[in-house]
Structure 1
Amino acid sequence: MKRLLIVDDEPIIVDGLCELFAQRLNGEWEIHSAYDGFEALDCMKELFMDIVLADIEMPGMNGLALQAQAQARWPLCRFVFLTGYSDFDYVKTSIRQGAIDYVLKTEGDEAIVQAVDRAIREVDARFSREQLVAGAERKLAEALPLLRKECLLEALQGDASGEPRRGSRFRALKVKLEPEAPVHLALARVDDWRDDARSDTDRALYLYALQNIVEEIVGSRFNLEAVPYAKDRCAWLLQPIQGTVPPTSREEQGIALQNLFEAAQNSARQYMRLPCSFVVGTAARSWRELPDVFDRFKAMMMRGLGSGPEMLLTDRRAGETARPSPDGRAALKRLSLLEPYLESGDAVRFFALFDEIAAWHDAPQEGIEATAGALEIYYSLAAVFFSYLNKSGRFAGFAEHYGVGRMFSIQQHPSWADAMAYFREAAGYLFRHPSASEEASVDEVVLTLHGYIERHLHGDLSLHRLAEQVYLTPFYLSRLYKQKTGRSLSEHITDCRLGRAKELLVGSPLKIHEVGERIGFESASYFTRFFRKLTGLSPQQFRDLAQ
């Protein structure tokens, strides 16, 4: 939320302008006030102000001194000055310092409003859609390599929630692969670093050089994306380039890929003195198979053949061309992602991943005599739920309303499908029923605010001051309050002030201006304007009709 600070050494001017802009800006801006330059500067030490509307000539610290110190701290802050006829030397200085407008005090409220409106347009222009999009496009171009790596690493690690949007993500990130076509996988490991590769930076540079060699050699026949996944290791996802060579069989493509990586291995040794080992997938796999293939290739890299460096292994050696039979290991790797989804309330991603994990098992279709892999998945799921319930303080409430007995033992379920349905229902319960402690905390915030507002209708009820009472940031408080109550804080304050004004007008002998002061209006004219706008009557007319 953007902020306007009004500064003048005459309180009646400050209070009147605060009320004027509070009504005009309709809660879209925070309105702050200060009665001298020092108070304004103290306020700006804590909060960034988008616009400052200040008297140019004030005792102690005048507007120019305030502008200089404020813009040293917040260069983007915009100043509009109120000035008298004798202040034009000051005006010239203020404009040189970056003030965007000035208004003669004798010109009245409308001229002040127009000057602030111009300042608001300038602030809004700073964040125009075109500028933000252009800036975002520049930042995105800089971040594309990292974002591509994260996206492809998700595919290798098996985050199934990314599958429905893989195509759109690939297009946005300019990934050089088809999201539905089969893909080859290859892994590389640097077996021994050169003597001059002592630091992590040096080694990252050589790993990048290895990627360039593979890009140069293998990229002649295949579209590829590199995915570094450790300091000395890199994966490549590859698809044959269509139309560059006569159509070949899948087996011929696999042999070509093996030969190309062998050439890359030789080049790394010859030109970089960098011995590397490779595991090359000669068979193209579906994207859904990738996580399991990735795990198997990493295991092949660790086992190897013999103890020497510069291995060149393929999936053909171990009969890997057939789809591997899952043993739950890849599912277990992804399972750790479920708890963060529970914590963040991300039900869509939770259930997308859960359903894949629940289906990836080798348990029998009937009964619960599951294999070791299925048992490990079951008790790992139970650990995820217990960990979340304990950390969130929801264990007791969950146990009371839903029960946890069936979570302790897989034997409590007649079948694997029944066990997975139990966990799915448990997750659904947690997503449907927010934490009672969280709800209570929000309720306490709302009650605290309402009590403070009732007791301080005559005082400062700015969003900043209210946020201080509940130890939240103004923006977050504003959003939280509206989510909880369905209305804005300014609407609630307006209703409270109007209600108290009616009570005092009918039930007390206070004069009209005294009633206004009791609910925060220093000026009788602004109180009358406020009351008439909401009721259609002046305060005196309302009092007369009520008697």
Structure 2
Amino acid sequence: MFQLLIVDDESAVVDSLSDTLPWQTVGVTSVFKAYSGYEALEILKTNTIDILITDIHMPGMSGLELLAKAHRSWKKIKCILLSGHAEFDYARQAIRHNTYEYLLKPVSDEMILGKVKALAELLQKEREELLTYQLVAQAFEESLPKLRGELLNELLQGLELAPRRLQEKMELLKVNMRLGAEFALMLVRMEGKLSELDLYNLSLMEYAVVNMAGEIFEDGFRLWPCKDIHGFLVFLVTLKEGKIEEAADSENADQQLQQLASQLQLSVNHYLKGTVSVLIGKWGRFPQDVPKLYQDSLYSLRRRIGSQSGLLIYVSEALEQQPVHSLLRLYEPPLLVHLLESASWTLAEEKLQSVFQELRAKWADSSEHLVEVFFSIYASFSSLAHKNGRELAGMIGPGLSDVAGLAACRSLKALEEWTFQAFRLMKQSMENETKNDREHTVEKIKQYIRRHLTEDVSLQAVADYMYMHPVHISRIYKLETGENLSDYILRLKMEMAAVMLADRSVKNYEIALKLGYQNPNYFNKVFKKYYSLTPQEYRSKLDEDG
């Protein structure tokens, strides 16, 4: 569906074309009106216009000048030029400005609709052209390293995807990895002068380290790199085809990894004049072992490397057993606070349910895990309240927001009851606030229109009064009331016209002018379309009804 802009210094022409033709039947959802070239340019700057219909002769800026400016800045706009002059020179200039059609006034409604329909079909075809696809594909290719890194980061944090979905995503991102493959994680921590660099230079150094690693490991291994949330470079390492059997027979994959990791350290020191520590984790199966091995690697890095620098550590099987494991569901993406901030209430509730499933299965009797969950959820709720200019107590009540004594943590059942009761109250409070804001906005819009009905009540005028974008005004009004703002304005004007027609001392043309219709004939046309009677017929009917 497309958006249309009609430009003419004769307001009656613009209003007639805009308000009386069935634009939706030819693929147009929104019609914008401008009464000068300058006003048209302002609309073009703030709205996505697909089709432009403009008159040639206008004061200040001609239609040809408008077309030239539009073509320079908005090359995909299709233009129809209207003129009462048949000189060939005008047509020639119009063609130079990529005008789709040059029509002579007067032009029938059927002709205008036919040309706009043809343009809409042409625009649709262009959207499907291969060139557009290739441009998008090129941009996608350039973003592949970043997108691959984001996917790996999500898997490290515990994101679970259905096997088929994960395979499709990896194929799309051209990740050469099969489900069930053996892998190891390698963590690289930038240290010394490298860690003190500003963001731009640090990014260059990280890029260089990733490239170095790719060259050093390329003979026997594939690397899938990313930068994790702690600032470490993380590489998911797999054996290349042809090397798997060799490694299995000789059991030298670990030795090769350590040798190559040591070479990476030396290369960073020699070429980048910097220091890195490298930790190589245990082997596991992709993707089910990714989160656990990542957490084990972080645990080993904290214990074995700590604040030291320039170390190379290989994680052995026996040494790195953690006596107590942390919660997974609570911290895997997307985080609860992010779901709440985006108003994804269904997903947030599912997230909470998964957290309590894990608690029931593993940590139902662990008071520390219950307190950890409570404070994490409480912090997410508080963050949402404060970002909306509210206090948590005002959203869920003082009883639920009071943490004195941590009564909610006394048992798993109590914590679960507190969580979902508070969650429901937060959801209800936010939804009520959103609805109240919309209702208040719509009421202000209606008040403005009622007060200025005999003045300028165009969409732009309403938007200027509300300090909002015209498109947002239209959408929020339609969402709250179920009708278009233009229909509401038309209804009020027609109702006022009907009241004024009952007064015989007021002429029809005076009513038209009072309601903002400069052309009485156009007013008659609109009135008849609304009431199925002309203003004069309506007056006669009033007399008959007595």
Equivalent position to 2:407, from 403, 407, 411: 411
* Correspondence for 1:296: 296
Equivalent position to 1:387, from 376, 383, 395: 383
Counterparts in 2 of 1:200 and 1:405: CA distance versus 1, 3 Å: closer
C-alpha separation in 1, matches of 2:38 and 2:511: 31
C-alpha separation in 1, matches of 2:31 and 2:399: 47
Q: SS in structure 1 opposite 2:310?
A: coil
Matches within 5 A, 1:430-441: 430-441=426-437
Q: SS in structure 2 opposite 1:300?
A: helix
What is the Cα deviation at residue 76 of structure 1? Answer: 3.9
Matches within 5 A, 1:235-250: 235-238=234-237, 245-246=244-245
What is the Cα deviation at residue 175 of structure 1? Answer: 3.2
Question: Which letter does structure 2 place at the counterpart of 1:136?
Answer: V
Identical positions, percent: 23
Equivalent position to 2:395, from 391, 398, 414: 398
RMSD of aligned residue pairs (Cα, Å): 4.1
Contact 2:182 2:283 in 1 (8 A): no
What is the Cα deviation at residue 152 of structure 1? Answer: 1.3
* Correspondence for 1:315: 316
Unaligned 5+ segments in structure 1 are none
Matches within 5 A, 1:84-483: 84-128=84-128, 133-159=133-159, 166-178=166-178, 184-189=184-189, 199-200=201-202, 202-213=204-215, 215-219=217-221, 224-229=223-228, 233-238=232-237, 245-246=244-245, 255-268=251-264, 273=270, 277-284=277-284, 287=287, 290-304=290-304, 309-320=310-321, 324=322, 326-328=324-326, 333-334=331-332, 337-360=335-358, 370-371=367-368, 373-392=369-388, 393=390, 395-400=392-397, 403-405=399-401, 407-483=403-479
TM-score of the aligned structures, taking structure 1 as reference length: 0.81
Contact 1:226 1:235 in 2 (8 A): yes
Matches within 5 A, 1:61-80: 61-80=61-80
Counterparts in 2 of 1:296 and 1:535: CA distance versus 1, 3 Å: same
What is the Cα deviation at residue 450 of structure 1? Answer: 1.5
Unaligned 5+ segments in structure 2 are none
What is the Cα deviation at residue 104 of structure 1? Answer: 0.9
Question: Which letter does structure 2 place at the counterpart of 1:148?
Answer: R
Q: SS in structure 2 opposite 1:177?
A: coil
For residues 56-95 of structure 1, the C-alpha deviation after alignment (integer angstroms, 9 at most, x for no partner) is: 2334433223333444444444432222345321221222
C-alpha separation in 2, matches of 1:449 and 1:284: 61
Contact 2:223 2:237 in 1 (8 A): yes
For residues 358-404 of structure 1, the C-alpha deviation after alignment (integer angstroms, 9 at most, x for no partner) is: 4555999777x713x5433322322222232233215354244x842
* Correspondence for 1:484: 480
C-alpha separation in 2, matches of 1:201 and 1:239: 25
TM-score of the aligned structures, taking structure 2 as reference length: 0.81
For residues 202-237 of structure 1, the C-alpha deviation after alignment (integer angstroms, 9 at most, x for no partner) is: 513431223313651442xxx652223389842223
Larger mean CA deviation between 324-333 and 430-439 belongs to 324-333
Aligned length: 532
C-alpha separation in 1, matches of 2:399 and 2:313: 53
Q: SS in structure 2 opposite 1:283?
A: strand
C-alpha separation in 1, matches of 2:98 and 2:202: 47
Counterparts in 2 of 1:37 and 1:390: CA distance versus 1, 3 Å: closer
C-alpha separation in 1, matches of 2:305 and 2:393: 53
C-alpha separation in 2, matches of 1:424 and 1:161: 26
Counterparts in 2 of 1:264 and 1:331: CA distance versus 1, 3 Å: same
What is the Cα deviation at residue 311 of structure 1? Answer: 1.4
